[in-house]
Amino acid sequence: MRIKTLSQNKKKVLAYNHFRKGIFAELAPKDSEIILHLLPWMLSVNDPHVPGYIENIGRLWSVFQIDNDREITSREPSFKRMFGIMYEDPLLKHEPSMCWIEGLYTIGSVGSIAQTSRSDCDIWVCVDGSNVDGKALGDLRRKINSIKDWLDQHIKIPVYFFISDVENIRNCRFGTVEGESSGSAQKKMLKEEFYRTALIIGGKIPLWWVYGPEQSKDTDYETFAENVRNGIFAEEYDLVDLGNIESVEYDEYFGSALWQFNKALSHPLKSVIKMLLLKMLLESPREELLCHRLRRMVLEGPEGQFLDPGTFTLQAMLEYYRDLPKERFAFIMECFYLNYDMKLLSGNVSIREKLAGGIFEQNKMERQSIKRLNEFSLWSFQEQSDFGARIFELLRQIYTDISAVKKDVKGEIEPEDLQVMGGKLSACLENKSHKIPIIHKPFEDLTKPTLVFKTDGQIWQVYTEADRPKLIVESPDIIRCIAYVVWNDIFISTEIRMAPNTTSITLQEIINIGKKMKDLFGTSDIAAVPFPRYLESERIEKALIVVNFESAWDADEVGDLWMIYRNNWGELFVRQWDSPDALRDFFHNSSKILQPIDIQYYVQRNSLMYEKIIERTKQTAVKKFHP
């Protein structure tokens, strides 16, 4: 590669990075200023007034060449005033013993149309471990932790740091990042995502980015990297070799798809987009890598005309899925539209609409659908839940397609992975006797409705106050209704109402037992259940036995009994019996799933025989474990 070509490529990469920073700045003006400018400055100074100060630090840390970055140095006076520093001497220093942060990069949605109010910011702090000792790395960790504490208090976007050694990245060893795998290899997959989505906050340019298709015809990547290290390109000292990536093995796509499916069970809308991407990659593993295609567009495209990673990936996926049945393709378009917080036809044109609006127009998205989606936050809870159920049906179809190609997967895939994900799918979607089903929410942060409990003959019903005709749940058993709204995280004690009825149950008792259930079982989160649990046999972990909940306050015998219990697979069940003998039979017949467990009890507080009833019920349960 000629020096002139390398220099031109660097300029294009920096222009592209500036374009990405501009997207970040428009979507999050305050947060982007802090992350792009204040953060690298805080990492590069060590003053008692500034977050990240390390007393008795051995060697100072600094982002590479930050003292020559005009965007940072011009802001230093205002940064000093922010922290009450009155002296004029600059805090940025350059010392021979300095420890360098080779590069500071975001990975993921930041600086693209995929960045929304729900996004977080993952930052790779890249260091050369061969040039620093354990004491210096310990100081860096402490410094980063202190800065993170400050960021958590002062910006909206959650920030997570990952200290990464350049040699480990070169060899696709990602430490704690890799620890989030599903058990299958996800090494090159993460590097592909990094190169495709990385935004350079500060430090060196990844060497891979300036090694374009034209250069690969003359020199292979390793020779090029060796030439850079040996100083053949004398002025190009601001490049860092994080390794090449030519292809991603089939089994890595498969492993990544399994892991992403796990996340999709709790965060469906965001993850279904990634699942569609991984399905595309899994079905066409010999195609040119997306990161290669994006790099080629940046280095060979018209001057100053760029696609952000979100728009680029959206375009590639819609081209791939265009031949799907019309209804399914239209629903995928709606998922993209909501996930990216698009607002076409609304008069509020942001950079998202400028960059990606044409794609939705080219794919002929109906105007009525666009206007309807623009009002998604105003949809009733039931309508939003119905949309979530459609997302899960799409996930089920993707899972079926991925499972069908398992027979072709070889290499590092663990045979248990499919069993694990099948278990999670079953726990999330399968109907089982007495099981509390899960409401499929497209977003985590849906507005929780005001709930009304009422009776219709012998049936208990729960509906939202704002949408009375549509029921959330109904059952002859009020305990099951309460468990349903608690487990699905729509139980807010101050937002519970009860219509007049002739039963002995009071609103306060509904609230009391709802709080008890939530304290004991929490709410449904299948993705949080550790993978190994699905390789185990089913067992009950926690149980709440409810006695005489619908009985009169002066009942003195144990009558109706309910047992709410959670198993090790993250499922919640409700059983009901009309006598202690029936409960005792359940314990006797369920020996395979029962071990000594934490059993708690609930009786209405106004019961005259509270202590007596509790004691009799305990005797029924404990005989199973203490004959």
Query: Which pLDDT belongs to residue 248?
Result: 85
**287-294 long-range contacts, Cβ below 8 Å, gap at least 24?**
289/192, 289/245, 289/246, 289/247, 289/248, 290/192, 290/196, 290/316, 291/192, 291/193, 291/195, 291/196, 291/245, 292/213, 294/196
- The pLDDT tens digits for 446-505 are 778 899 999 998 999 999 988 777 889 999 999 999 999 999 999 999 999 999 988 888
pLDDT of residue 609: 46
Count other Cβ atoms within 10 Å, centred on residue 377: 9
Looking at 62-107, list the stretches that DSSP marks H as alpha helix, in order from N- to C-terminal side.
Answer: 70-73, 76-82
Residue 98: count of CB within 10 angstroms of its CB = 14
Burial class (CB in 10 A: 0-12, 13-18, 19+), 487: buried
The answer to whether 560 touches 548, Cβ cutoff 8 Å, is yes
pLDDT tens digits, one per residue of 256-295: 777 777 777 777 888 888 889 888 988 886 788 999 999 9
As given in the structure block, the two tokens for residue 610 are 């509270």
Instruction: Decide if pLDDT at 176 tops 50.
Output: no
Averaged pLDDT, 302-326: 93
> With bands split at pLDDT 50, 70 and 90, how would you rate the model's confidence at 235?
low
Contact 565, 621 (CB under 8 A): no
Query: With 60 as the cut, is the pLDDT of residue 120 above it?
Result: yes
Residue 415 has pLDDT above 60, yes or no: no
pLDDT tens-digit readout, 538-594: 889 999 999 888 765 555 566 788 999 999 999 999 999 888 888 888 887 776 666
pTM: 0.83
Residue ranges of E strands in 404-466:
451-456, 459-464
Average pLDDT, the chain: 85
Q: Judge whether residue 194 has pLDDT over 60.
A: yes
3-state SS, residue 345? coil
- The CA angle 397-322-300, to the nearest 5 degrees, is 120
Measured between alpha carbons, how far apart are the two ends of the chain, in Å? 81
As beta bridge partners, residue 573 has 435, 565
CA 152 – CA 49 distance, rounded (Å): 18
Write down the residue that tokens 């794919």 correspond to: 363
Task: Look at residue 440 and tell me whether its pLDDT is greater than 90.
Answer: no
Q: What is the pLDDT of residue 181?
A: 39
More confident residue, 415 or 588: 588
Highest mean pLDDT (candidates 83-97, 155-169, 253-267, 586-600): 155-169
480 versus 254: which is more confidently predicted?
480
| Statement: residue 115 has pLDDT above 70 | yes
For 465, the token pair is 């106050």
Task: Return d(Cα 280, Cα 322) in angstroms, integer.
Answer: 12
**In whole angstroms, how far apart are CA 369 and each of 214, 268, 390, 441, 518?**
44, 20, 16, 20, 38
pLDDT confidence of residue 397? 86
Q: Which amino acid is at 101?
A: I
Mean pLDDT of all residues in 53-80? 94
* Higher-pLDDT residue of 193, 444: 193
Judge whether residue 409 has pLDDT over 70.
Answer: no
Quote the pLDDT of residue 232.
75
Q: Band of the pLDDT at 35, cuts 50, 70, 90?
A: very high
Residue type, 3: I
Q: What is the pLDDT of residue 557?
A: 61
What span, in angstroms and rounded, lies between the C-alpha atoms of 178 and 185? 9
> Please, which contacts does 499-508 make with residues 24 or more away whose CB atoms are closer than 8 Å?
499/452, 499/453, 499/454, 499/455, 501/454, 501/455, 502/455, 503/455, 503/550, 504/550, 504/551, 504/552, 504/553, 505/478, 505/549, 505/550, 507/453
CA dist., res. 495 & res. 447, Å (int):
12
200 in Cβ contact with 35 (< 8 Å): no
Please write the tens of the pLDDT for every residue from 338-353: 999 999 998 888 899 9
State both tokens at 571.
């499922």
What are the CA-CA distances from residue 354 to residues 113, 330, 343, 361 (Å)? 10, 21, 11, 12
Per-residue b or e along 398-426, where b marks 16 or more CB atoms closer than 10 Å to that residue's CB: bbeebeeeeeebeeebbebbbebbebbbe
Q: Which residues contact 96 (CB under 8 A, 6 or more apart)?
A: none
Q: Is pLDDT above 90 for 315?
A: yes
pLDDT given at position 352? 92
239: which strand partners? 205
Between 42-46, 200-204, 466-470, the lowest mean confidence (pLDDT) is in 466-470
Distance, in Å, from the CA atom of 392 to the CA atom of 341, rounded to the nearest integer, reads: 20
Distance CA 437, CA 334 (A): 25
11 pLDDT higher than 50: yes
pLDDT at 160: 96
Question: Can you tell me the distance from the alpha carbon of 563 to that of 546, in angstroms, rounded to the nearest whole number?
Answer: 6
Residues of the chain above pLDDT 70, percent: 87
Quick one: average pLDDT of 224-228? 86
Q: H or E stretch including 602?
A: strand 598-603
pLDDT at 625: 43
